[in-house]
Structure 1
């Protein structure tokens, strides 16, 4: 089906604005789409200026009209995707003393229900999020964390999509919330050892998490004690706890530097104790080995690019006392670790594939949990317990639904606890998953994970959806997707390009895709598309590319750089107005982001380099693929005006008749619709677009 644009598209007014840095002047016709009242809009969407609202609603109406012929297809896709989800489902209960905690979904429900089982197997519902969401235009649950004595449950929720979470405390026995209400938080909490108080992070008017407070249960939030305040607005602050439960953690970090402070969980009024002062470019986190009175530290000090593990005494954890525990092994990236009483588990990646390594703390003996598939996803779950020989992991691949295992670290017994059910049916033997490598312009080999049906002809005729991200060191897993099957079953090749900017091939893969090497991310993605066509897996002009957030920036960059390679581009909450955002230190995330992209305010080289790829700034008079951009009005991460400005400029300058579509969710933020089925409707929307522009319906 060829989509036909409606008779007339919205044309944004032009109001010239400019700024000058390093003697270079930028002009912007659409800066007016940023509401000067944006802070208020984050808290109350009704505060949006009427002229901006009118324009965004006109864009939404235009998109609805353009995609109206796909209504039946969207319903079909949604029904397929929903049919692959077991509606009445539950997670594997996680033991913690006299209870085992889990969440479940009821038939037809959008949101989870948090529960626990007692020793006799009787269920108690702690929090039904469906009831909490009743009457709300938006509801997203944050953290649900029971107190160590199991008598209280702290839970957090965002009701605007702007990621301002309010904390409430529930009496587990009565199911009633106490009077405690703590607004404007990041959503994270850390209980003290006695369950009488907890730490949380306050989010300020600029949406920056810089202050840690301690709340005593039964008191008013205005009386909470300030525990720590970060003065550098380029850092984030989180709170947590060691697996042993002995220490509360205050984690101060940006994208390449970290610093930890500790508070004894049994003495929560104690001033935070610094572990090691921040050093630029040095990252670390800790676990507690209680029996040996030491900390186990995951860090990249001493040039350990792919990280190593070190140890330090609890009594003297300063940097000078760190000693190697597991030495650095170049090419083996240590991703995460957890310490139990007698064992230590670490998740690491080598050659793009993950594995779990178990170490017995008494004698240092190690063994590995390995897997056979060519491409897969692996996650390690720490659970609640410390004095246990059991850890838990989840395994899946692009053809294999998720499997959750309990693993005895001493006996090495592996027990399957849950296998993801696909009610409508799924036979892994009908599909092929592979990993191929595309050669980048500088000779680097870019991994590409593939999924397609065995019956798909690989003669260049197949359409392809190519997904990418490539930022912040985030690796995109080759995981099972109930949504991607709807494309694959219609003859698509589904591909994930593991481009630089992620950590799929180690930390160097990340550092080679950031700052003054950021263009590698975009050229890697283009190389992946070219290679797919060269190998006959698809062909040029048959590829729809898809990315969100920083991956949306990728979409904007490749649209400018290689428009003839793609026939469609889906950019969700796309970070496309890079220059304007990084030049505005007042925006919520700009100062912390300078370590990822560069600081164009202070650094002329960073300014010029960023200007060379910033998607919005590089839109020009040329042909473009069909483009579908999606954003959220209350998004604090990628503000709504970024996709709005981008769409306006594309429509004004493109020289072809292809579609430029913009959809702004007027009641949601960065994560889109919060309910599990509402999110599927959004996926069905963008996949119907992919199918239509590929003439695959």
Structure 2
């Protein structure tokens, strides 16, 4: 729906009909949606098949007629964007001008909008560079705000010309928040050179504090923090008379002990900013509270219970995951299971399939979702760009080659007994192609000397993140549970827990 202050009290206006586009594509994914300032056009990005091949469209409101559609420039092999084009609405996409091209094949680029600046992010998990141009001068060249360093990642929130720069040190596990004034940000956009010593430090965390999100709008800035599993949202208010950038901690929302997901967003006009906080508990109770940041008055706008449970768990080599338990764990605890979560950095499924080779007797069954089983073969593929070199190492180095080959799941399959295994994949997955787990299963079938179960479950229509409907998603979860119970020889017990089992979480 389109929200415009001039017509806020009139009937709602549809700007984009998701069902219209998704009805013929079961794995349709809608990306970012932006409405023009005059509310006459809507720009959006979509992926028809879940294969991360995106199309940009600009539709007229309210007719819904598309004035332009063209493919976003990404690498044809690894689907990563390294080129930023400038498009003028109403012109032929073939006339678009390349404004930024990243020569380093280990990186990727993206663009975000602030109030007064366009921000370009370019880099990888271990180092990110930031560039800016004023929104009112889109033909200007990109100017560097921060040039990335190894071991550091960065992001920027901007509103009304000023910004907060976050720099995360992955090794030290610390995050530093810098204030960039409107005057300084304008100077940077005009080519002024600087370093971090020019920016006042707002706050700096230690290893016990995790920052889970942030945002800016108008005179307000918020961040979500987690201190030893105690969560809160802190709001600062900018003051034009304060050289440090903010006058005080304006609002603190105490969320208590972490029990599920927390999301926050700022919306409304710059003069009347609303903070919307959405929390979901392990019982899938969803609560939405809105805070008027001018008055600091709150109101519960949504409070309900969803009887479904989410048991998906995606692990990637570049992601630092917060320690948490899932609803599935509590249900399995009622059945007598004991759970231990190991946060192992290195491609989803790689650890499980590697351990199956190294110590097959260490466990009885394993489920590898979208597993990356041929690390060495993928890293040696010349047509692919390897941002993973920074995580796994460059196999063109002889020492690194031998090290990777020493644990690479596909290369280390041998004639021995293996535990029960279930591997999953998807036909349109560009991140872990279906042939990776498929060839692992084929080789394993030819070598294993036991009669244990070995399954490959392939989604013939989905991608890495997609499932065509809710029923299919639930069937995947049920299939995994059935495999797990059968592999372990466990019968479902008809138990009713009057209270959820006590769960202790220990930081190691």
TM-score normalized with structure 2 length: 0.83
Deviation at 1:663, TM superposition (A): 2.5
Distance 1:420 1:688, change over 3 A: farther
Partner of 2:305: 421
Aligned to 2:392: 597
Structure 1 contact 401–480 (Cα < 8 Å) conserved:
no
1:476-495 aligned at under 5 Å gives the runs 478=324, 484=328, 488=332, 491=335, 493=337, 495=339
Aligned to 2:501: none
- Would you say 1:98 and 2:98 are equivalent positions? no
Structure-2 separation of matches of 1:626 and 1:304: 39
Match of 1:133 in 2: 22
SS of 2:214's equivalent?
strand
Tell me, yes or no, if structure 1 residue 319 matches structure 2 residue 195. yes
Q: Deviations over 1:647-697 (max 9, x none)?
A: 112212222111111123333321242434433333333333233334335
Deviation string 1:17-62 (CA, Å, 9 cap, x unpaired) is xxxxxxxxxxxxxxxxxxxxxxxxxxxxxxxxxxxxxxxxxxxxxx
2:176 is the counterpart of 1:308: yes
Structure 1 alignment gaps of length 5 or more: 1-92, 100-117, 186-201, 427-450, 452-464, 502-517, 519-549
1:645 to 433, 436, 439: 439
Distance 1:215 1:579, change over 3 A: same
2:317 pairs with 471, 484, 487, which one? 471
The residue that corresponds to 1:365 in the other structure is 248
Match of 2:101 in 1: 229
1:288 to 158, 183, 187: 158
Tell me what 2:210 maps to: 333
SS in structure 1 opposite 2:416?
coil
The answer to whether the aligner puts 1:155 opposite 2:44 as a matched pair is: yes
Match of 2:11 among 101, 119, 122: 122
CA distance in 1, matches of 2:273, 2:281: 27
What's the offset of the Cα at 1:593?
1.1
In structure 1, distance between residues paired with 2:34 and 2:14: 14
Q: Give the CA deviation at 1:562.
A: 4.2
Is the counterpart of residue 299 in structure 1 residue 147 in structure 2? no
Aligned partners of 1:246 and 1:266 also within 8 Å: yes
- Identify the residue that residue 506 of structure 2 maps to in structure 1: none
Query: Is 1:204 aligned to 2:61, yes or no?
Result: no
* Change beyond 3 A, Cα 1:389–1:255: same
TM-aligned CA distance change 1:596 to 1:216, over 3 Å: same
Instruction: Determine helix, strand or coil for the equivalent of 2:232.
Output: strand
Offset of 1:138 from its aligned partner? 4.3
Q: Please tell me whether the aligned partners of residues 31 and 46 of structure 2 are also in contact (alpha carbons under 8 angstroms).
A: yes
Secondary structure at 1:154's aligned position in 2?
A: strand
Whole-angstrom CA distance in 1 between matches of 2:406 and 2:299: 53
Q: CA deviation at 1:170?
A: 1.3
Contact between 2:155 and 2:166, CA under 8 Å: does it hold in 1? Answer: yes
1:540-585 Cα offsets, whole Å, 9 max, x none, are xxxxxxxxxx332232133334433433322221111111112224
What CA distance in whole angstroms lies between the structure 1 residues aligned with 2:415 and 2:232? 48
Q: Work out whether residues 144 and 153 of structure 1, in 8 Å CA contact, stay in contact via their aligned partners in 2.
A: yes
Change beyond 3 A, Cα 1:324–1:580: same
| 1:609 counterpart SS class | helix
Could you tell me how far 1:642 is from its partner in structure 2?
Answer: 0.9
Q: Tell me the CA shift for residue 268 of structure 1.
A: 1.9
Shift of 1:168: 1.4
Cα shift at 1:638: 0.6
Using the alignment, how far apart are the partners of 2:48 and 2:467 within structure 1? 12
SS in 1 for 2:225: strand
1:562 and 1:470 map into 2 onto residues whose CA distance is 23
Out of 131, 136, 144, which is 1:266 matched to? 136
Give the equivalent residue in structure 1 for 2:341: 497
Query: Within the alignment, does 1:553 sit opposite 2:425 as a pair?
Result: no
Kindly state the Cα deviation for residue 630 of structure 1 after the two structures are TM-superposed.
1.4
Cα offsets for 1:301-329 (capped at 9, x unmatched): 79964111012321344325223121343
SS in 1 for 2:202: strand
Structure with the higher fraction of residues in helix conformation: 1
- Partner residue, 1:176: 65
CA contact (8 A) 1:468 1:554 kept: no
Residue 485 to residue 609, structure 1, CA distance change in 2 (3 Å): closer
Q: Give the distance between the partners of 1:122 and 1:634, measured in 2 at CA.
A: 41
Is 2:350 aligned against 1:350?
no
Of structures 1 and 2, the one with the larger relative CO (CA 8 A, separation 6+) is 1
Decide whether the 8 Å contact of 2:329 with 2:339 is kept in 1: no
For 1:184-234, what per-residue CA distance to the aligned partner results, in whole angstroms no more than 9, with x for missing partners? x2xxxxxxxxxxxxxxxx113222311111222222211112111111111
What is the aligned partner in structure 1 of residue 503 from structure 2?
Answer: none
Query: Would you say the 8 A contact 2:27–2:466 is kept in 1?
Result: no
Q: Note the C-alpha offset of 1:393.
A: 2.0
C-alpha deviations, 1:69-95, integer Å up to 9, x for none? xxxxxxxxxxxxxxxxxxxxxxxx8x9
- Given candidates 390, 406, 421, the residue that maps to 2:290 is 406
Mapped partners of 1:552, 1:319: distance in 2: 40
How do 1:610-629 residues align onto structure 2 when only pairs under 5 Å count? 610-629=404-423
- CA distance 1:392–1:216, change in 2 (3 Å): same
**Cα deviations across residues 518-544 of structure 1 (Å, max 9, x unaligned)?**
6xxxxxxxxxxxxxxxxxxxxxxxxxx
The alignment covers a number of residue pairs equal to 474
Are the equivalent residues in 2 in contact too, given 1:353–1:376 (CA < 8 A)? no
Within-5 A mapping of 1:681-696: 681-694=475-488, 695-696=490-491
Name the CA shift for 1:328/1:671 in 2 (closer, same or farther; >3 Å): closer
2:51 is equivalent to residue 144 of structure 1: no
SS at match of 2:82: strand
Query: Displacement, 1:492?
Result: 6.1
RMSD of aligned Cα (Å): 3.2
1:489–1:630 Cα change, 3 Å:
same
* Aligned equivalents of 2:38, 2:389: Cα separation in 1: 42
